[in-house]
Amino acid sequence: MKTWLWISLLLFTLTSCTNSGKEKAKTAPTEGSSVEAKLYVSTDGMYKLSVKPLGNDQLEVNDLNTGKSHRLNQTEAASGAKYSNDEAYVFWSKGPEFMWMKGDEMLASGQQKTNTLVGNYVNADYFQRDKGYDWVGIKVSNAADDQLLVQVRSRADRKKPTCTWDARIYPESTTTYYTVENDTKVHFAFTNDTLSIAAEDEKVLYFFCSGGATIAGNYIKIDEPLDPEQVDSTVFSKVLQLQGIGFYVTSVRKGPQTAVSVSPFGLEKSNRVETYTVDGYVTDAEIEDLNADGSPELLVYIQSFGSGSYGSVLAFSVNNRKSLSQAYLPPINQDPALSEGYMGHDEFRVVENYLVQRFPIYKEGDSNANPTGGVRQITYTLEEGEAMRQFKVKDIRTFNR
């Protein structure tokens, strides 16, 4: 190990011991609980981590600089709380101070950042929930840069949820944020312990609710999680629209798997909701007319659980604006030329009218945490097939890391 890293670890440990001696880390909540992630920022302000306890002495560390998520297990430490995984990532904290490492490399060190806007907000009916009142709550958490993630959830123990919506909001000032939905600007104003939501066209805020309800209004900040016995368990929610056709994509964790629901709207023949079970979790979804036929395609990106983080795509294609069919992306291990050196950590994205897949290349002897073969990028086109539309390889490129 490099001398400077030994010195950093020693100073970090000595500082921790001076503050409060050998402290045992608190037991984390169970996975699936409503514990909010905490934001940790490097001393220079350039590196940011979102850290959430999962239970069973585990943490989920979301590296906001790279967009990658890491699950770590607690390990012994002279002081503070130390977590690591088999990819050699280490998160070590003592009070507000932290270090983030990979093997011998110090990636970042700094302190936890407190954003007073982050937390849970509820409408007035929440305080009457024991009397059977329906209610809407809003989870506000940190996202990349100075953005915030807003997750609207509502009561789901007595009937279907009234309102469900996820949105990334962008700062206009220290207390006002905005996002754009269906070409309409939505405003978020934080005043003391109140969040007010309004839109330039109020109709857009009815879209994410049922029964004539709206997300617009005032919400009060509370000091505890949303009622876990009542709150909607949806973990991903996104609405996408193109060419007059749209999709409402949601996912719910079902033990070791995830149920993904796709609700189309605007199709001329069938707008039936379909649900699919996947091994992993939804990271994002995109819409684009990949084959330029006047009808869009929907791509839902899946990441497997575990350190391998193997990626896959649930793909759908609209048939002449009338109905929806699945499209086929062949598994990469079916083609030796594509899969040579492949060990997961995929990233998918639509670029112009193509689906692009990128992943690190592992050479013989490489550890999971240290691929040395560069990055392979595969570009796919969507073409007609015998049974269904399918993705065909258009181009393969390799880049140095």
One DSSP character per residue, 40-85 reads: EEETTS--EEEEEEEETTEEEEEETTTTEEEEEEEE--SSSEEEE-
pLDDT value at 95 more than 90? no
Q: pLDDT confidence of 299, banded at 50, 70, 90?
A: very high
CATH of domain 235-399: 2.40.128.460
Q: 40, 48 in Cβ contact below 8 A?
A: yes
How far is 105 from 85, CA to CA, in rounded Å?
15
Distance, in Å, from the CA atom of 120 to the CA atom of 320, rounded to the nearest integer, reads 43
Mean of pLDDT values over 327-335: 92
- pLDDT over 80 (residue 193): yes
Mean pLDDT confidence for 269-280: 94
Against a cut of 0.75, is the pTM above it? no
Give 91's Cβ-side CA count (13 Å radius): 30
User: Confidence class of residue 61 from pLDDT cuts 50, 70 and 90?
Assistant: very high
What pLDDT score was predicted for residue 400? 82
Q: Residue 191: is its pLDDT beyond 60?
A: yes
Among 19-28, 113-122, 132-141, 197-206, the minimum mean pLDDT is found in 19-28
- CA-based nearest residue to 90, from 105, 68, 112, 111: 105
**Dist. CA 24–CA 337, nearest whole Å:** 49
Q: How far apart are CA 295 and CA 91, in angstroms?
A: 46
Laid out side by side, the sheet with 347-351 consists of 347-351, 354-360, 375-383, 390-399
Q: Residue 23, Cα to own-chain centre: how many angstroms?
A: 32
DSSP state of 204: G
Nearest to 267 by CA among 316, 323, 319, 315: 323
Contact (Cβ atoms closer than 8 angstroms) between residue 339 and residue 361: no
- Superfamily, domain 3-113: C-type lysozyme inhibitor (2.40.128.200)
d(CA 281, CA 253): 8
